[in-house]
Structure 1
Amino acid sequence: MTKQIKQIAIYGKGGIGKSTTTSNISAALAEAGYKVMQFGCDPKADSTNTLRGGEYIPTVLDLLHANARVNAYEAIFEGFGGIYCVEAGGPQPGVGCAGRGIISAVQLLKQQDVFEALDLDVVIYDVLGDVVCGGFAVPVREGIAEHVFTVSSSDFMAIYAANNLFKGIQTYSNKGGALLGGVIANSINTDFHRDIIDDFVARTHTQVVEYVPRSLSVTQAELQGKTTIEAAPKSEQADVYRRLAKRIVEHTESKTPTPLDQQELRDWSASWADRLIAVERQSQLLAS
């Protein structure tokens, strides 16, 4: 009987900490004994850098451009803890579709039965979530991933990107597409950050999987080309990532979120702006 491989997609807008979070989840799972592949789906091809000491690896599209036939194993490189690292890649700036690398890479690995041959437990797709276009939506649309998670902070643009992802999941939910596991709340260092993200997930009928604080240990680790799990294994931040990884790998029930429409999102963000201004004015009065 073929082993069931857990396939997970993690989305998030550029700069939100999506790849940092994904790599630390992969590292924590490998540390716990799982056989993991991290599948970078960003045209920048930098998802797996911190699993390989800061080194870039050739992308699937690079190999396909150079060769008529490609052995999928030429695109697979081993990283920290035996994690298999793959980068889909993308076109030259201004040319072609950025989602094409995901489509080509997934097809190549599936055609050659790589997931089964490597006896993987978990495949994690690290996907750019600024725009959920046809290419970037492949893990959701095709049901390649069973469960989708999004990394978001309390900043409006991060929540805007998460809400757009929810719309994509809702669109494909009745067509065999992947469903939402929840939100990974990143850079949560104040009660207000937490309150904003909690309110957003309540309104969209989803959940927060873990609150990840902003930490200097993450910056220090990345400057070394490493994950926090590798560079600072005894840190509090490493334990946060371990807890997150455990929750994700044990997650079984995902669902269709209820995204806000454009006006609802604007009204919601404006109400929070008013609350923050009121709190700031109150603080100024108390200080004076």
Structure 2
Amino acid sequence: MSKTKKIAIYGKGGIGKSTIVSNIAAANSKDKEVLVIGCDPKADTTRTLVGERIPTVLDTLKIKKNAVTEDILYMGYNDVSCVESGGPEPGVGCAGRGVIVAMNLLERLGIFSENLDLIIYDVLGDVVCGGFAVPLRENFADEVYIVTSGEYMALYAANNICKGIKKLNGKFGGIICNCRGIDNELEIVQEFAERVNSRVIGVVPRNEIVQKSEIDAKTVLEKFPDSKQAEIYRKLANSINLNNDFVIPEPIDVEVFDEFFRKFQ
């Protein structure tokens, strides 16, 4: 068996990580054994793969302490394996705890040792929380990619994530620009990538068929397989699969970041 490729997708909440993750998982599913692990307390990463929300690891353990693989692992589109770590009720406890508990359980159940070609982690926000840093810190993931738009807060979060990747000595594979349609967006993201010692590995344009697919709890690959958008996700998946260009990022100082962003206004 070839070595399993293990990647973590980070980015600001609401930036479109789950859409990116589910569609690149679907793009890989034709000829690969793929596992997707949602590390977000909203537990919505795998909804478009499975067609509905699945029980989370934390919720399952509340009612069944000795959970087995069948209790937490669900099969999605083209037999993509899906797990959601889950989290506590809003305002109660640490959301990162769900990631830690899920990783420990998956390891104990031997799910990581299965015949997998690709594991994708969808990780919330930035890595200031120890729980959300688990995929990197505990070597569950080998490569990191950041999803961002050209918006200030999305790039601010991306810069913070770069700080975490550097601190953890992670292998940074590049930035995925999930476009929101703002002025000079690609130019902004490309310059940011260069400033943090990286590059843009893929560009996903804004397209209404993404929302249409998600309303039906499907990936674009499933609902609109012959669309230009589906081909964009396939191209992105291939770029990540073939990527051998990894760096330690060099995050920008906060004051320099603000100066960089102001010049585009």
Give the TM-score range, shorter chain.
Answer: over 0.9
SS state at 1:183 partner: strand
The answer on whether the counterparts of 2:126 and 2:132 sit within 8 Å (CA) in structure 1 is no
The answer on whether the counterparts of 1:188 and 1:212 sit within 8 Å (CA) in structure 2 is no
Q: Number of matched residues?
A: 265
Of the three residues 227, 243, 253, the one matched with 1:235 is 227
1:70-93 Cα deviation digits (max 9, x unpaired):
113310000001000100000111
Q: Tell me the residue number matched to 1:248.
A: 240
The answer on whether the counterparts of 2:11 and 2:126 sit within 8 Å (CA) in structure 1 is yes
- Aligned-residue offset at 1:272: 1.8
RMSD between superposed Cα atoms in Å = 1.4
Q: 1: CA distance between counterparts of 2:5 and 2:34? A: 10
Of the three residues 103, 128, 145, the one matched with 2:141 is 145
TM-score by length of 1: 0.89
User: Any gaps of 5 or more consecutive residues in structure 1?
Assistant: 274-288
Q: Tell me the residue number matched to 2:105.
A: 108
Q: Tell me the residue number matched to 1:96.
A: 93
Q: 2: CA distance between counterparts of 1:127 and 1:73? A: 23
The answer on whether the counterparts of 2:165 and 2:249 sit within 8 Å (CA) in structure 1 is yes
1:159-213 Cα deviation digits (max 9, x unpaired):
011100000011111xxxx321100001165771111111101111101011110
Q: 1: CA distance between counterparts of 2:226 and 2:181? A: 20
Is it true that 1:259 corresponds to 2:251 in the alignment? yes
The answer on whether the counterparts of 2:127 and 2:164 sit within 8 Å (CA) in structure 1 is no
Letter in 2 for 1:19: S
Alignment of 1:1-288 (within 5 A): 3-31=2-30, 33-53=31-51, 55-117=52-114, 119-130=115-126, 132-173=128-169, 178-187=170-179, 189=181, 192-273=184-265
Q: 1: CA distance between counterparts of 2:180 and 2:13? A: 17
Q: Structure 1 residue runs of 4+, over 6 Å off?
A: none
TM-score by length of 2: 0.96
Stretch of structure 1 that moved more, 59-68 or 225-234: 59-68
1:80-132 Cα deviation digits (max 9, x unpaired):
01000100000111111100111111111112211223x11100000012453
Q: 2: CA distance between counterparts of 1:64 and 1:240? A: 38
Structure number with greater Rg is: 1
The answer on whether the counterparts of 2:43 and 2:86 sit within 8 Å (CA) in structure 1 is yes
The answer on whether the counterparts of 1:188 and 1:211 sit within 8 Å (CA) in structure 2 is no
Identity %: 46
Q: 1: CA distance between counterparts of 2:173 and 2:70? A: 30
In structure 2, relative to structure 1, the CA distance for the partners of 1:190 and 1:90 (3 Å cut) is: closer
The answer on whether the counterparts of 2:37 and 2:82 sit within 8 Å (CA) in structure 1 is yes
Letter in 1 for 2:46: T
Letter in 1 for 2:117: D
Stretch of structure 1 that moved more, 155-164 or 249-258: 249-258
Letter in 2 for 1:122: L
Letter in 2 for 1:69: N
Q: 1: CA distance between counterparts of 2:190 and 2:215? A: 31
